[in-house]
Amino acid sequence: MTESTALMSAGGQPLPKRWLAIIATIWAGQAASMITSYAAGYAVIWYITETTGSAIMLSAAAICAYLPQGLLSPFGGVIADKYNRKTVMIAADLGIGVISLGLGFVILFGQVSFGLLMVLVIARSVGQAFHGPAMMAAMPLLVPEKHLLRINTLDQLLISVASIGAPAFGIFLYTTFGFHSVMFLDFLGALLAVAGLALVKIPTVVDESAKDQHVLANMRDGWKALSANRGLVILIAGVTIGMVTFAPLGAIFPLMTFDHFGGDGYAASIVEASFGVGMIIGSAILMIWGGGKRLALLIGIAAFIVGATTMACGFLAPTMFWAFVVLCAAMAVACAWFNGPLITLIQRNTPEEKTGRVLGLAMAAMGLASPVGIAFGGVLAESIGVAPFFVVDGLICLVLGLAIYLPKSVRALDSDKPTIVRDSSAAQNAETAE
């Protein structure tokens, strides 16, 4: 097969001959790492709950989990475009694993503390700030265009599966073998992720013109690449606002169950499980369907569904708990239709040599949205009541869903041809390596 007749990747480069095997190897390692990470993360949460019983401490842990990723993702995007993306991903996974291993030995010898656990939480967030942009920027070079959305959705699917089973697994290890065993398992998961990456060749596009630039200049070029497409800017801004609005609901679900429906811990766990199952169903739908051609419209529809179901929850009578469970599951199905389509649109409409930086900026916006939303949402829910908060929250998401597809530039994202504005100098200096 000649270069002219070779299958092309979504990123416009020749597709690796064994691309499916490469994807399977990479994601097998990532899946193992996700499971062990969720198990370790829940063990940390349980330890803080068990030893402090402090909502402030749990809130501080949540901020430590989100804030570093939000702040550092733009730097991670710069690194993804300046250096080999495979190397960046391996370094990030290995770094997290080594810290888990060290913390496991510290816990084994009885030196565990809240501060030490926050080191792990922050390290994991920092690692994701560098791993995420590199991984997402590499995927378009590994799959055909028709499978790009499916691969981007695979991450969400694995996270949803891990979030259901891994916490129980982590608590089992925690209570049966000790806290240190969960940390050692997390180290093993990181090694499997590194092995999955190390065993395959991953094409990368390095922007040589960016190597001699200051990091701020690199970020500026990333912003120029993003702002050249007005539709992407509007869509990312809309999703970010939606995340600010929706983020508090995760913390308020148990309170809604207890305060409005008079449920207990068992009832709260049913709500959480229904949301997890809904996320899996929504991700599976995208994986099977492929998302169609109008991904920006799909994001708008998803926001509308989330808004409508959230509002409906706020109007339920205290005797309608099972309707709440069903609505949460339906809400979660639509929640699974944001990340994959948005990432795919960014990949399709951004020059390959700048994809890491644009994704880093998008991750920063969305990463900072959650802690901001949790902070403001908690105050609002406290002042107006839990059920009315669901109504207000849902109304905002519903309006976003109706309005986000109105701008012509957003609708243009669903055209047959990506609206990429390439930097000719960068393209000339870009090199493809394995």
Matching residue, tokens 């997890």: 276
Whether 215 and 173 share a structural domain: no
| pLDDT per residue as tens digits for the range 316-374 | 998 999 999 999 999 999 999 988 899 889 988 888 888 888 888 888 888 888 778 87
211 has a pLDDT exceeding 80: no
- The predicted pLDDT at position 53 comes to 67
Residue 153 lies in a domain: yes
Count the domains in the chain.
2
In angstroms, the CA 60 to CA 55 distance is 9
Residue 371 lies in a domain: yes
- The predicted pLDDT at position 426 comes to 43
What does pLDDT average to over the chain? 84
Whether 165 and 25 share a structural domain: yes
pTM (two decimals): 0.81
Whether 229 and 190 share a structural domain: no
Name which residue leads in pLDDT, 72 or 12: 72
Token digits of residue 287: 């994986």
Residue 430 lies in a domain: no
The mean per-residue pLDDT over the stretch 186-202 comes to: 94
Sign of CA dihedral 189, 275, 127, 28: positive
| pLDDT per residue as tens digits for the range 384-415 | 888 888 999 899 999 999 999 999 999 998 87
Domain limits for position 45: 1-206
415-424: list long-range contacts, CB under 8 Å, 24+ apart. 416/293, 418/348, 418/349, 419/229, 419/231, 419/349, 420/229, 420/348, 420/349, 420/350, 420/351, 421/225, 421/228, 421/229, 421/351, 422/351, 423/221, 423/225, 423/351, 423/353, 423/354
Whether 33 and 150 share a structural domain: yes
Whether 193 and 280 share a structural domain: no
Whether 197 and 249 share a structural domain: no
CATH number, domain at 111?
1.20.1250.20
The contacts of residue 86 (CB under 8 Å, 6+ apart) are: 134, 138, 197, 202, 204
Residue 227 lies in a domain: yes
Matching residue, tokens 């475009």: 81
**DSSP H or E run through 206:** strand 204-207
Whether 253 and 347 share a structural domain: yes
- The predicted pLDDT at position 416 comes to 62
314-320: list long-range contacts, CB under 8 Å, 24+ apart. 314/387, 314/388, 314/389, 314/390, 314/391, 314/392, 314/393, 314/394, 315/387, 315/391, 316/260, 316/387, 318/260, 318/261, 318/262, 320/261
Residue 424 lies in a domain: no
Residue 422: left (phi > 0), alpha (psi -120 to 50), or beta? beta
Q: Is the separation of the CB atoms in 271 and 328 below 8 Å?
A: yes
Alpha helices by DSSP H, 83-229: 85-108, 114-138, 148-176, 179-198, 215-227
Whether 405 and 299 share a structural domain: yes
Whether 123 and 181 share a structural domain: yes
Residue 426 lies in a domain: no
Q: Rounded to the nearest 5°, which phi and psi values hold at 430?
A: -70, 140
CA 196 to each of CA 67, 100, 149, 153, 240: distance values in angstroms, whole numbers, following the listed order = 28, 19, 21, 19, 32
Residue 263 lies in a domain: yes
Whether 169 and 247 share a structural domain: no
432 has a pLDDT exceeding 50: no
Whether 131 and 232 share a structural domain: no
Residue 61 lies in a domain: yes
Q: Is the separation of the CB atoms in 323 and 271 below 8 Å?
A: no
- Which of 206, 230, 264 corresponds to the end of one domain? 206
Number of residues assigned to the chain: 434
Whether 165 and 37 share a structural domain: yes
Q: Is the separation of the CB atoms in 13 and 351 below 8 Å?
A: no
Nearest 5 degrees, angle CA 289-CA 295-CA 299?
A: 105
